[in-house]
Amino acid sequence: MKVVPDPRTLHVGDRIRIVACPKADVAQMAVAMRRGNPDAQFTVRILQRLADRRQVVCIDQIDEYGKPWFSYRFRNKRGRQEEHSLAVMDEASWEMFDDHVSS
């Protein structure tokens, strides 16, 4: 049985791999879309892109509530660079990344 990591154990500088879009974000998106929010898909689309690529990210801050955050840069549809910060809240959406172990 695989041990599910707890995001509260992360520290600034830790590297993690995004492996799934958090269920809570998908649920929140569904509610927002039912309410007619056209931007509701934005966070889920970014997280799904990261998961599909099994992207490795670096924790760059821990907020006052103990939530770890990472920044992600990408080129938008207009070709401009965007940077967003995302919190790691879902235990099943990531795994620790070890440079010395291939996965």
Whether residue 13 is contained in a domain is answered as: yes
Question: What range does the domain containing 15 cover?
Answer: 7-96
For 22-68, how does the pLDDT look when each residue is reduced to its tens digit (9 = 90+)? 888 888 888 888 888 878 788 888 999 999 999 999 999 999 999 99
Whether residue 72 is contained in a domain is answered as: yes
Q: Give the per-residue pLDDT at 1.
A: 47
Q: How many domains does the chain divide into? A: 1
Q: With the C-alpha atoms ordered 30, 36, 39, 45, is the resulting torsion angle positive or negative? A: positive
Whether residue 101 is contained in a domain is answered as: no
Question: Secondary structure of 52-81 in the HEC alphabet?
Answer: HCCCEEEEEEECCCCCEEEEEEEECCCCCE
Whether residue 102 is contained in a domain is answered as: no
Average pLDDT over residues 72-98: 90
pTM of the model: 0.80
Whether residue 1 is contained in a domain is answered as: no
Whether residue 2 is contained in a domain is answered as: no
Whether residue 30 is contained in a domain is answered as: yes
Whether residue 22 is contained in a domain is answered as: yes
Q: Give the per-residue pLDDT at 90.
A: 80
